[in-house]
Structure 1
Amino acid sequence: MQHLIASPSYASNEIISNDDYLSLISQTPIKEENLTTVTEFIILGFPEFPQLQIPLFLLFLLIYLIILMGNLTIITLTCLDPRLHTPMYFFLCNLSFLDISYTSLTLPKLMDIFLRKGKHISAFVCFIQMHFFISLLGIEYVLLTVMAYDCYVAICHPLRYTTIMNPRVCLLMVTGTWMFGFLGPVAYTVLVSHFSFCGSIEINHFFCDLSALLKLSCTSTFAVESITYIAGFFIVLPCLILTLTSYVYIISSILRIRSAEGRRKAFSTCSSHLTVVILFYGTIMCLYMRPTSMQSLDQNKLFALLYNVLIPMFNPLIYSLNNKAVKEALQKVFIRNHFK
């Protein structure tokens, strides 16, 4: 016996058969949600200052040139002066290259927005930019930890320093750091590239930041957020703990040195790196450790500018001003070129 179904689209007294009802459903278009396959995004940059676009372009152009000049100077001096062919300056060269990569990844696009209002960016390029930015951020966590360990060995085990931090070990540390950094965020990139985006495609940031992209997603972000917590627990937290532990031992060893001159020399060995660590982790904590209720994308942009622009600009100054060997190498190269 064939079942009968009352159709709500008909009059209440009209009954249709099950087969007719299924046929009616198959012919009726289903209303889908407003999901779109995004091919490009719009990066807003800093629309809050429409009258200052050209001055901001000139300002960031100047900052970008300072970053390039400062960090390239560190790399060049390390390559030219044999006295700087040590593990500490090898790691410093990698940090300088990392700072150049940071700013070259984001600032040219931001300056294009200021100058030509070139806000459009393809989805593919956007996801690649996001991937590399997360990669560079992870590399910096590990690289600063490696540099802290280098300072620890130099101060706490000076007689075994050349044995422990031999060229092969240093090369393995740096190679592993860069490989880990670029392979780690693959899961982020794959997941975000399969997101569905509905409504606005405007990214309220000056680059394709992960948090800004998650705001636009119609897809559940639970998997990405879970990976973020896991990465924080197994990568960021261990790096912070190892860095702090290294400096606990370093400071303890320095305080045990009897002569004031010896303490000053020992502290000067790690003071530059300690300053960079405080700046980096301080900025990251201000950005990510605030309660969710206190966070906004506008504030996130300002904090992102600190570790994306200001820290790479200050790093060469910090290492050159506090480091006698770098200043002597700079004077040597300048005098050689000036009187050539």
Structure 2
Amino acid sequence: MPLTPEDVERFESARPRLEALAYRLLGSVGEAEDAVQETFLRWQGADVEAVRVPEAWLTKVLTNLCLNQLTSARARRETYVGEWLPEPLLAGDPMLGPADTAVQRESVSYAVLTLMERLTPHERAVYVLREAFGYPHREIAGIVGLSEAASQQILHRAKRHLDAGRPRREIDAAAARRVVEEFLAAATSGRTELLVELLTTDAVAIGDGGGQVPARTKAFEGATAVARFMRGLFKPAAAKRNLVGGSPEVYLTSANGGPAVVAVVEGRVVGVMCLEITDEGIAAFRNQVNPDKLRRATGTWAAGDHGKPLFHAF
């Protein structure tokens, strides 16, 4: 039976929440949108009049589609060229989803999305459903096909895995912004020693070029190695300008709720650098330069007013 306009509207009203859930589960905008579209097709083919609670039905269908996607994604990422990082979402993107509590904001942070790659599909699903969307374990059990006790155990295990990789105590947004400004000043000065002072001793720098943009296949590790890399990254060079199609404008903004440096060439986002800042210094740089993972960021960027750039890189 074809969907009525009311049935379509019921789904469309749920779409933003479904997209935010799928993004947290998959870390990819394209895969999240595909999962939501497949959920709509399932809705279209269902006897919707018999669905007692549409929100629960849609959530269950979407979550299980994402569980299947996560299983296959693991195999694909084993053959991915270089490091794999999630797709960043800039401030204002509705796919960021609920951000009313500290736990909700943390669950979509770039650092935690990266750490969630260590979880099993079920661990990730239970963690996201509970921490980001507040589902009780009784409902989570029904969504993913587990017992309530198993859901509780899986959440505990997921938190333990994530806690093992979490940074030291983070600092507030205003202080983080000052640190990023100091970092940019040091990086453009060309003085490695200034950069080292801003980093933790075990700082890391990871880049995702997806085989389309040059990026080191392994992370830089340690303050000195990271500082040298950052000094070279911001050093002017014609080859870099040719690679991205011009001299990028550099802005300080927010991605996934945390501090980020965005590089833009003629309105096109060519790089998003997400920084992980603790009370001991900058602990991590996660650089997304894969063009396929920056299309959404470009669209979000075009919709906002960002003022003048801090400077032109390269």
Same fold (TM over 0.5): no
Question: With structure 2 as the length reference, what TM-score do the two structures score?
Answer: 0.30
Q: Which has the larger radius of gyration?
A: 1
Q: Which has the higher contact order (CA 8 A, sep 6+)?
A: 1
Question: With structure 1 as the length reference, what TM-score do the two structures score?
Answer: 0.28
Considering fraction of residues, name the structure with more strand: 2
